[in-house]
Structure 1
Amino acid sequence: MSTVGEKRPAESQPQVNKKSKTESRQEQKNIRNERKSHDKNYEMITQAKKVWEQLRRGDIEREEQKALMAKMMGIIGGKVQDVIFKHDASRIIQTCLKKGNAEQRNQIVEELRGHYLELSKSMYGKFIVMKAIEYCHKQRDNILAEFKNNVRKLIRHKEASTVIETFYSQFANSAQKHELLSEFYGPEMTLFNSGGGAKTLEELLEKFPEKKDSILRYMAEMLKGCMDKGTIVHSIVHKAIYQYMTLTDNKGREDMLSLLKDSLQEMIHTREGAKVAMICLSIASPKDRKNIIKAFKPYLTKIACDDYGYLVLLRLLDVTDDTVLVAKAVIGELSKHAKELFANKFGRRVFLYILAGRNTKYLSPETVKMLKEGDSIRVSKKDPEVRAQELLKATSPQLIKMVADDAAILMREKLSSQVVQEIMLHAVGDKTEAINAILALAGENIEKENHIIEDRFANRIVKAMIKADNAMDENDKAVEPLEFASKLLEVIKPNLSHFATNFGSFVVLALAEEPSTKKEVKKELKAHKKEITEAAKSNQGSKLILETVF
């Protein structure tokens, strides 16, 4: 028995030689290779991979690529079906479809025939199918034939839905798109290909109106399945939903809205998806609209900058009676990224819509037409004019503050300058700080690069503000008097002759034409007729000043 403090003899332990990480990895690699070596195609894949390592490089010469492809086909020719579901071999086949000539590609796709359906469902095989669709356009009908009567299942399959979407959105011609879409409509669509003469769903229903109810029931069931399986992001699904929403009755639309309202943000990146979202917003209840806004909130900036997403936000502005909510949750959130959005082709349109409405200066006639068409199904209590004015009043203070804080940047950027101009003309409320910010820039040293009186974008805003109080066109007239011309003249008077003979000549011309400043401009320029006459030889603005003032 040991006493306190006495050391116990160390117990004998067996000595274990710990392997290093390098040795462990090597051992694991050897085990994998040993396991793979039992595969009858192991040698063939090993040889193919060595060639593939060179073939996939982007810096090889055309002749070398041809030689490598010939060597590769000698290895895998006749054996493609044996390896297509293996991860490493899948990448080899993809490269061959990309780099091969027409004959080699056709040889591969012929060997793949009969396997496209199964490949589409494979995590790795789906990429082979997509490459075959991309590079072998003459084989697309054959691939489509293998998908026939299976699209309903494929579009709801995690892997295969990507293949269907890629085929539909990137490579299918009109007839192939109709054939893919036809499987959303049910067995009745066999009429499309059996002498019925119909090429679209609308044509079929026109020819066989009695089949409408059964087709819509089938579509509703299939589309619900797509939502349950998470394949709602695909444009082919968006097209089918849009067709359903335009053909069904109010009850059908409301039922579809109940399924879509929490996931609209996932589908507004396509034309049809955006149209579906616009329909949903138009018919939604105030509670549903509030929930949709909540779902949109994390993605608002991305939606505003999207080719089609911004249209959904315009519809949101058109139909939401709770303008306080919109001003805070939508415009307030977008305002945090104002510089980015003002300079974006689509993002700025949300702000311009609040300020200028459906002005074809900023929106295409087609877009305005589409917005007007949506008015017919809008479920709202407020008068559109009242709603627009409330929204303008609620958002104007933050828009005016943006100009006051960042005029120097916003006025000199092409797209942003248009938003600034509309803010100064059409926002409501006290613009004193914004006007003072612009006047401060106008009073800067004339040697400063891109002085706002001479900057190609900023001086358009300045000219518009000079003319705004007396403009004949309502789009150019300020909603509230700015009284800007006399203030500007006071600031730039010491350099008036300089601007009259340089890039600021059109600003001076605007002052010379404005009733409140015309007399004083003429007085200030009287002593500079000689310089203006000389400048008029090459400057159109100076020439017009000469004709107007003298």
Structure 2
Amino acid sequence: MASKAPKVQKSTKRKDTESSANFDALKSKKPKLASSNSDKKHHTKPKSVGDNGNGVNLSAKERRIEAKEEAEARKKRRRPHYTLEQELASLWEKMRRRDISKADRSKLLSEALQKMKGKIPEIACSPLLSRVLQTCVKYCSQAEKEAVFNELQPHFVKFAFNKYAVFLLKKMLDGASKQQRAACISSLRGHVASLLRHMVGSIVAEHAYYIGTAAQKQELLGELYSTELQLFKDLNSTNEKRVVDIIAKLGLKKDAVIRHMTAVIQPIIEKGIVDHSITHKLLIEYLTIADKTSAAYMMQHLTGKLLLRMVHTRDGSRLAMLRLKHGSAKERKMIIKAMKSTDEMIKENKSHVKNMAFDQFGSMVLTCIFTIVDDTKLVTKIIVRDLEPILKDLVVEKHGRKPLLQLLHPNSSRYLSHDDLASFDLSVPSLCVMDESETSSQTKDSDVKESGEEAEDEQEDTVTERTDVEENVTVGGSKKDPLLRRQELLVKSGLAERLIDVCVENAEEFLKSNVGKEVMYEVARGGADGILLPSLSEKLRVLHEAIASVAAKPKSQEPEKKSEHILEDFHSSRTIRRLVLDCPAFASILFNNALSGKCRMWAQGHCSKILSAFLETEDVQVREMAKEEVQVLVNEGVVKIPDPKKPE
């Protein structure tokens, strides 16, 4: 037995040597060509052109027909309602035409709904049939609409997550009765949070929130605040709207509410589904009760790109403003840099700044940036340069003029609404004031520590924390003098010079505009605090002369002419009157170039108020200049001086 073992081992070694040699030989061989004899043995002859497999040659037309029939057969096997789709598609092409009569459309709608009866829940998710249903819901009678609603309502939540059925649900909500709409919104109960985390479902939740009543909106928001409001419907019927008041009235635990809201908000922010007003409202309410750590964590996740998608709503713009107020200088720079237009947007003549400027709420974010951001060079480079090419459109746009007026006359109640001014005073409570215990502990630690490397490092960390807190205590968070900031953004940037040129070119149009006259007035008088006067006095004189030249045009004798003279127009006459009272330089140029020797001709209508302003102004030189002509008209009773005690 012992003598046989070595022999077996030796034979195994020999076999291994032979196999390796064979492997090397195979590697050295060249690959065979495709036309080798071995391939020819297994090569099958292709079918001749037109052969259908049975040895029968077909023409090209017959082959196309056969292929089409096979495709139709596959579609029928794969799609159970394929035949119904073909029939409804034919009807849909007819019923959605614009030149069809109401009677013919009604017949086609009835026929289509009859074919879909009982199958609507099955076909509502189809790309084609969902569009057919949308047309039917849009044009059908109330009875037919109720029949469709009754079939879809039990499956409302299921369809809310489908990318095709979502448009049908929006159409249903728009055309539903009060009872039907209430039933749809109630069916979302318990699913609002999951809908907001879904790209498609969030569209349905937002639409329901948008068209719902105040009570329905509160019902949708309530379950996002706490588990109790989600489980018990009666608790959600409270009249309080703010989450702080709801916690106080119902005696809810604040920590539990914060945890619940954090669990709802965090996945929404992480997925970037932040375009909806219901989400913005939820975030605003969260920041009113969140502790310092939770609020700071949430604010850090609201980056510049997300904020640009949120500024189109009231609460979204306020979130952006809060982010700017409580952010550090570095964070503010990142937000502003996100507004920079890409190369593709520049080619298409688009701009983030332009879109924000013409938006009702986005314009307030730009106004806030002009008010609190200290880095005026960056603001000029990204924002001001994008506004300069569209200054004319901004001046005559209701919301676009707000950033310009904020630079010319900051925080004026004449130009900004009460709600706009209130948004400047908003702040996150937990980020404004640090807890006293935290302050005392930090102070105590810094006093106890002595010399040594570890003590110095820890002391530097404490100083850093204090610095961050001090920045948060000042809500505006800006250190630069407001007047200096305005001068850098308005005068040194060249924006004011360009704005004056635009006003000169469009003097008559701006003065007659109900919106543009405000910007025209502020520019012509040199802005609040005379910010434009020192360096741009010559440019302003050119503007004054441009207005006076328009006013010096002869009075039209054609009563049917639609365009009124600048001195007779309602808006322009009142703006010119204000300029006469507040800007003596303009008053002198206007009287000498347009009114001198012609006061009696203009002493009627709206222009009489302009003439009376020459005697009301506080400037002595202007009064003496016009007194000789205007006082005669006052004595004759042609021009009346208003009583200063009575409102105009």
Regarding TM over 0.5, the answer is yes
* Structure 1: distance between partners of 2:411 and 2:275: 30
Q: For residue 250 of structure 1, what is the aligned residue in structure 2? A: 292
* Structure 2: distance between partners of 1:456 and 1:387: 35
State the 1:380 CA deviation.
Answer: 4.4
RMSD: 3.7
User: Which of 518, 543, 546 is residue 639 of structure 2 equivalent to?
Assistant: 543
Q: Does 1:518 align with 2:623?
A: yes
**Aligned pair in 2 of structure 1 residues 31, 219: CA closer, same or farther (>3 Å)?**
farther
Is the 1:186–1:218 Cα contact (8 Å) retained in structure 2? yes
State the 1:41 CA deviation.
Answer: 2.6
Q: Does 1:36 align with 2:45?
A: no
- More off after superposition, 508-517 vs 223-232: 508-517
Is the 1:323–1:387 Cα contact (8 Å) retained in structure 2? no
**Aligned pair in 2 of structure 1 residues 338, 367: CA closer, same or farther (>3 Å)?**
same
Q: For residue 486 of structure 2, what is the aligned residue in structure 1? A: 391
User: Which of 206, 215, 220 is residue 248 of structure 2 equivalent to?
Assistant: 206
- Trace 1:8-47 onto structure 2 (pairs within 5 A): 32-38=71-77, 39-47=79-87
Q: For residue 431 of structure 1, what is the aligned residue in structure 2? A: 537
Larger Rg: 2
Identity over aligned residues, as a percent? 26
* Structure 1: distance between partners of 2:298 and 2:70: 54
State the 1:259 CA deviation.
Answer: 0.4
Is the 1:439–1:488 Cα contact (8 Å) retained in structure 2? yes
State the 1:108 CA deviation.
Answer: 1.9
> Counterpart of 2:184 in structure 1: which amino acid?
I
User: Which of 175, 181, 205 is residue 164 of structure 1 equivalent to?
Assistant: 205
For the residue of structure 1 that corresponds to 2:639, the secondary structure is helix
Question: 1:91-142 CA deviation, whole Å, 9 max, x = no partner?
Answer: 1222222222233222223222443333222221222222222223433344
State the 1:343 CA deviation.
Answer: 0.8
* Structure 2: distance between partners of 1:455 and 1:305: 27
* Structure 2: distance between partners of 1:306 and 1:421: 23
Q: For residue 490 of structure 1, what is the aligned residue in structure 2? A: 592
* Unmatched tracts of structure 2, length 5 or more: 1-46, 51-59, 341-350, 433-473, 556-562, 644-648
* Structure 2: distance between partners of 1:26 and 1:516: 96
For the residue of structure 1 that corresponds to 2:159, the secondary structure is helix
Is the 1:120–1:126 Cα contact (8 Å) retained in structure 2? yes
User: Which of 283, 299, 319 is residue 276 of structure 1 equivalent to?
Assistant: 319
Is the 1:224–1:259 Cα contact (8 Å) retained in structure 2? no
Q: For residue 190 of structure 1, what is the aligned residue in structure 2? A: 230
> Counterpart of 1:330 in structure 2: which amino acid?
I
Q: For residue 389 of structure 2, what is the aligned residue in structure 1? A: 336
State the 1:383 CA deviation.
Answer: 6.4
Is the 1:401–1:434 Cα contact (8 Å) retained in structure 2? no
User: Which of 326, 330, 346 is residue 287 of structure 1 equivalent to?
Assistant: 330
Q: Does 1:106 align with 2:203?
A: no
Q: For residue 235 of structure 1, what is the aligned residue in structure 2? A: 277
Q: For residue 411 of structure 1, what is the aligned residue in structure 2? A: 511
> Counterpart of 2:623 in structure 1: which amino acid?
K
Is the 1:254–1:283 Cα contact (8 Å) retained in structure 2? no
Is the 1:192–1:198 Cα contact (8 Å) retained in structure 2? no
* Structure 2: distance between partners of 1:126 and 1:162: 8
Question: 1:273-323 CA deviation, whole Å, 9 max, x = no partner?
Answer: 122222212211111111112223441222122122222223323332334
Is the 1:151–1:183 Cα contact (8 Å) retained in structure 2? yes
TM-score normalised according to structure 1 size:
0.80
Q: For residue 38 of structure 2, what is the aligned residue in structure 1? A: none
- The size of the alignment, in residue pairs, is 508
**Aligned pair in 2 of structure 1 residues 388, 169: CA closer, same or farther (>3 Å)?**
farther
Q: For residue 6 of structure 1, what is the aligned residue in structure 2? A: none
**Aligned pair in 2 of structure 1 residues 113, 210: CA closer, same or farther (>3 Å)?**
closer
Is the 2:192–2:223 Cα contact (8 Å) retained in structure 1? yes
> Counterpart of 1:149 in structure 2: which amino acid?
G
- More off after superposition, 282-291 vs 33-42: 33-42
* Structure 2: distance between partners of 1:158 and 1:368: 34
For the residue of structure 2 that corresponds to 1:87, the secondary structure is coil
For the residue of structure 1 that corresponds to 2:515, the secondary structure is helix
**Aligned pair in 2 of structure 1 residues 26, 357: CA closer, same or farther (>3 Å)?**
farther
Is the 2:209–2:220 Cα contact (8 Å) retained in structure 1? yes
User: Which of 341, 357, 369 is residue 304 of structure 1 equivalent to?
Assistant: 357
* Structure 2: distance between partners of 1:400 and 1:22: 73
* Structure 1: distance between partners of 2:106 and 2:399: 46
TM-score normalised according to structure 2 size:
0.69
